[in-house]
């Protein structure tokens, strides 16, 4: 097996042939020399005081220090997790131990249970809407009853679907592109924020359902809940796809925020369950979606008041603004992210936007 050491940026291990040779006068970087040396060990001398082995660095030249260093380079199997080693890279220090804040994806920090939830929602995001499936037809029926309680449901094709923001008499044409998950999120929003949903439809400032489908796509893309990632995002075009290809390991602190909300949903009795939204990760996404919809409505209202010439061609700016606000909330670290914090964030955002709108 090759012996490895890290280069200065710790982005990958160096192979034997890439090491600087002694004849060439090559010098190891400070980080590489540190990683080759054993970590400080605290021992107690005869006086009872704790002494750090780094106080006498020349001690590493002794046989005992060499033995300790050799033992550190090839740790026992049971010591891997305690010394910061991964199972597949036990011959060198793990970059996740050296740079614990470098979070690029969920598997950089999430537990196996949390990863199971993430895999589930990624699978749900791939499910297509099937108008012939009984469950999908039932969800459409419930959405109709929630938004048109005084009108009987007479089938999937009805011109009234246009009134709530679909592009055609048959909502299946829009839902085929967005999938079953989009219908689940709309149904959750209708059941738990029914008054707000109806108010948005009544005010008719934007096609509510169509814009909601775009907002959900933004959440899936920017929270890395869609696999594979689409090439085009509704709010930033191809920028996100270019970032994924050029900087796949860029920091993504907002992912930890989403997992924090997921954990709160999983352990909270106050999390509102739903017949079609059952998994904790689905509930966490539904909560984010619902509050993002409320903020999006406030952002768009403020844009209309600030510039009377604003029309639906500028709605992408509102989507972008809403995404920036939500990602900033999820990426913060000064307080734990819970459903209560999410509710408070949504209220504060809407209050600020309402005050700014009145001041125009």
Contact between 257 and 152 (Cβ < 8 Å): no
240/321 same-domain check: yes
pLDDT tens per residue across span 303-327: 999 998 999 999 999 999 999 999 9
Handedness of CA 100, 101, 102, 107 (dihedral sign): positive
254/314 same-domain check: yes
Query: Of 222, 235, 240, 248, which Cα lies nearest the Cα of 299?
Result: 235
91/112 same-domain check: no
Q: Does residue 97 or residue 325 have the better pLDDT? A: 325
Contact between 346 and 261 (Cβ < 8 Å): no
Reduced to 3 states (helix: H, G, I; strand: E, B; else coil), residue 14 is strand
Scan for tokens 């309402």, then name that residue. Answer: 354
Residue 13: beta bridge partners? 6
Reduced to 3 states (helix: H, G, I; strand: E, B; else coil), residue 7 is coil
Q: What is the predicted pLDDT for the residue at 229?
A: 78
| Cα–Cα dist 196/198, whole Å | 5
Residue 285 has pLDDT above 70, yes or no: yes
| pLDDT band of 269, cuts 50, 70, 90 | low
320/206 same-domain check: yes
> Euclidean distance between the first and final Cα of the chain, in Å?
69
156/209 same-domain check: yes
64/137 same-domain check: no
Mean pLDDT, rounded, of the chain: 78
Q: What is the predicted pLDDT for the residue at 270?
A: 55
Q: What is the predicted pLDDT for the residue at 151?
A: 93
Show the domain range for 338.
108-359
What is the SS3 assignment for 284-315? HHHHHHHHHHHHHHHHHHHHHHHCCCCCHHHH
Reduced to 3 states (helix: H, G, I; strand: E, B; else coil), residue 335 is coil
95/117 same-domain check: no
Of the candidates 59, 75, 100, which is a domain's last residue?
Answer: 100
pLDDT tens per residue across span 110-127: 899 999 999 999 999 999
Radius of gyration of the chain (CA): 27
313/354 same-domain check: yes
What is the SS3 assignment for 118-180? HHHHHHHHHCCCCCCCHHHHHHHHHHHHHHCCCCCCCCCCCHHHHHHCCCCCCCHHHHHHHCH
Omega within 30 of 0 (cis) for the link into 278: no
* Percent of the chain residues topping a pLDDT of 70: 69
27/114 same-domain check: no
59/177 same-domain check: no
Of the candidates 100, 128, 159, which is a domain's last residue?
Answer: 100
Residue 27 has pLDDT above 60, yes or no: no
pLDDT tens per residue across span 178-211: 899 999 999 999 999 999 999 999 999 999 999 9
81/165 same-domain check: no
Q: What is the predicted pLDDT for the residue at 260?
A: 94
Number of domains in the chain: 2
163/233 same-domain check: yes
Of the candidates 51, 78, 100, which is a domain's last residue?
Answer: 100
Q: Looking at the whole model, is its pTM more than 0.75?
A: no
| Cα–Cα dist 54/70, whole Å | 17
């Amino acid at each position: 097996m090759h012996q490895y050491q890290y280069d200065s940026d710790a982005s990958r291990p160096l192979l034997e042939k890439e090491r600087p040779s002694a004849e060439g006068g090559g010098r190891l970087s400070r980080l590489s020399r540190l990683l080759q040396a054993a970590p400080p060990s605290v021992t107690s001398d005869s006086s009872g005081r704790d002494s750090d082995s780094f106080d006498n660095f020349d001690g590493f030249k002794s046989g005992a220090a060499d033995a300790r260093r050799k033992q550190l380079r090839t740790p026992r199997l049971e010591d891997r997790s305690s010394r910061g080693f991964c199972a597949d890279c036990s011959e060198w220090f793990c970059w996740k131990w050296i740079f614990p804040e470098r979070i690029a994806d969920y598997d950089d920090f999430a537990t196996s249970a949390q990863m199971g939830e993430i895999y589930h929602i990624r699978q749900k995001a791939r499910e297509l809407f099937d108008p012939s499936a009984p469950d999908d037809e039932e969800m459409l029926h419930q959405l109709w009853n929630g938004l048109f309680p005084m009108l009987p449901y007479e089938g999937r094709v009805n011109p009234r679907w246009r009134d709530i923001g679909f592009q055609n008499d048959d909502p299946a044409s829009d839902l085929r592109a967005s999938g079953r998950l989009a219908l689940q999120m709309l149904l959750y929003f209708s059941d738990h924020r029914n008054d707000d949903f109806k108010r948005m439809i009544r005010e008719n400032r934007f096609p509510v359902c169509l814009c909601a489908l775009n907002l959900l796509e933004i959440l899936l893309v920017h929270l890395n809940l869609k696999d594979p990632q689409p090439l085009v995002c509704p709010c930033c075009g191809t920028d996100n796809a270019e970032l994924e290809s050029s900087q796949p390991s860029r920091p993504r602190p907002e992912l930890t925020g989403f997992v924090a909300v997921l954990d709160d949903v999983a352990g909270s009795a106050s999390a509102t369950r739903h017949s079609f939204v059952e998994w904790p990760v689905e509930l966490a996404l539904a909560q984010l979606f619902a509050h993002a919809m409320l903020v999006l409505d406030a952002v768009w209202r403020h844009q209309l008041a600030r510039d009377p010439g604003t029309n639906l061609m500028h709605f992408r700016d509102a989507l972008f603004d809403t995404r920036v606000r939500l990602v900033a909330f999820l990426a913060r670290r000064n307080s734990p992210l819970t459903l209560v914090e999410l509710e408070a964030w949504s209220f504060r955002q809407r209050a600020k936007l309402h005050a700014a709108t009145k001041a125009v």
